[in-house]
Amino acid sequence: MIERLNHVAIVVPDLEAAIRLYKDVLGATVTEPIDLPAHGVTVAFIDLGNTKIELLYPLGEKSPVMSYLNKNSSGGVHHLCFEVDDIKVTCDHLVEKGMRILGNGEPELGAHGKPVIFLHPKDFCGTLIEIEQT
């Protein structure tokens, strides 16, 4: 069912510092930060070829990543994103298996303009899982 690991999202307390860290220490190519007001985050991507790292920084007071940063002041891994072919089929399968889809239970357009769902971390070894239709 799941295919490639699309990205690992990391919440950071200082986006510019995080970008410098990945560029200067690890020699990675990092995109310019992009504000995504609809998602309450500013993002920068590191393309590693086999997958991406998504640096997430809160945007606005209702940012969904603010509570994470409040609990983890130095930041940390926020979610993993797996690719699937057909998100509707995947949703039906996951619900049948007793998994909880966050929000209204329906796919929504994610940060990359593609349909995504998020699964409850308590159903997945304490890890927030994003599923993206590619």
Q: Lay out the site mask for Co ion across 61-100 (x = CB under 5 A, - = otherwise).
A: --------------------x-------------------
Which of 3, 32, 106, 130 is catalytic? The answer is 130
Task: Give which of 127, 72, 120 is closest to 95, Cα–Cα.
Answer: 120
Q: Considering the rule CB under 5 A, would residue 9 count as an interface residue with Co ion? A: yes
β-pair partners for 109: 115
- Does 16 participate in catalysis according to the annotation? no
Host H or E run for residue 55: strand 52-58
What is the CA 15 to chain-centroid distance, rounded?
15
Q: DSSP 3-state assignment of 4?
A: coil
Give the shortest CB-130-to-Co ion separation in angstroms: 5
Q: Show which residues are catalytic.
A: 130
Query: Which residues contact Co ion by CB under 5 A?
Result: 9, 81, 130
